[in-house]
Chain A
Amino acid sequence: DVKVTQSSRYLVKRTGEKVFLECVQDMDHENMFWYRQDPGLGLRLIYFSYDVKMKEKGDIPEGYSVSREKKERFSLILESASTNQTSMYLCASRSGGGNEQFFGPGTRLTVL
């Protein structure tokens, strides 16, 4: 059974903290994605990676960075968390030759 896991379901951080959100997939997928979801705005793509050490900016990369040192792991980094980064963060993976994205359960991040 395919699986995408995220390090935390709920996270509370303070403004200015450095925050790491981890995502791991066990399907040997080439592509991995980070989205955030906010009420009324739908899912918005932050960054994606189509291979190890490769990354591309999505629609809203400002304030975020990513790291993909291993194929199975894709990390989202908030260098200095701000209150407007309070959101639900969703990770997904996809086979390089496929179309279906598999999503993790999400991390609800609150920045105080």
Chain B
Amino acid sequence: LAKTTQPISMDSYEGQEVNITCSHNNIATNDYITWYQQFPSQGPRFIIQGYKTKVTNEVASLFIPADRKSSTLSLPRVSLSDTAVYYCLVGAENSNSGYALNFGKGTSLLVTP
């Protein structure tokens, strides 16, 4: 399994753009990059997934450089409700036993007024 490294914590003010970078130097060819969000006392929730270049949905954007050894989750104009833990995961699509995900410790984002 590809190991991921992301900052333990980040702080931001409301309305700012937040970028959380994840390193995954040993990502495999078949691996996708997936981000989850977790609020206190809840299970993680899928945010976005990508393989290369850029992916955007209604919640976030995911930027993946050509070498795929890192990725950046971008949250535009954060609000207080974006305060949560964000997990970066790397794993192979359509792989049952091979997709045992390592969530790690995640990045704790605190948004303040």
A residues in contact (CB < 8 Å) with B? 4, 30-31, 33, 35, 40-45, 48, 50-51, 56, 58-59, 90, 92, 94, 96-97, 99-106
Residues of B within 8 A of A48 (CB): 100
Residues of B within 8 A of A101 (CB): 36, 44, 46, 101
User: Is B102 within 8 A of A45, CB to CB?
Assistant: yes
Interface size on B, residues (CB 8 A): 24
Interface residues of B in 30-85 (CB under 8 A from A): 32, 34, 36, 41-46, 49
Contact A96:B96 (CB < 8 A) given known A40-B105, A90-B43: yes
CB proximity of A34 to chain B, nearest CB, Å: 11
Among the interface residues A56, A99, A103, which one has the most CB atoms of the partner chain B within 10 A?
Answer: A99
Residues of B within 8 A of A97 (CB): 94
Residues of B within 8 A of A90 (CB): 43-44
The CA-CA distance from A92 to B46 in the complex, in Å, is 12
Among the interface residues A35, A56, A103, A104, which one has the most CB atoms of the partner chain B within 10 A?
Answer: A103
Indicate which residue in B42, B43, B100 contacts A58 across the interface (CB closer than 8 Å). B100
Residues of A within 8 A of B49 (CB): 99-100
CB proximity of B20 to chain A, nearest CB, Å: 15
CB proximity of B63 to chain A, nearest CB, Å: 18
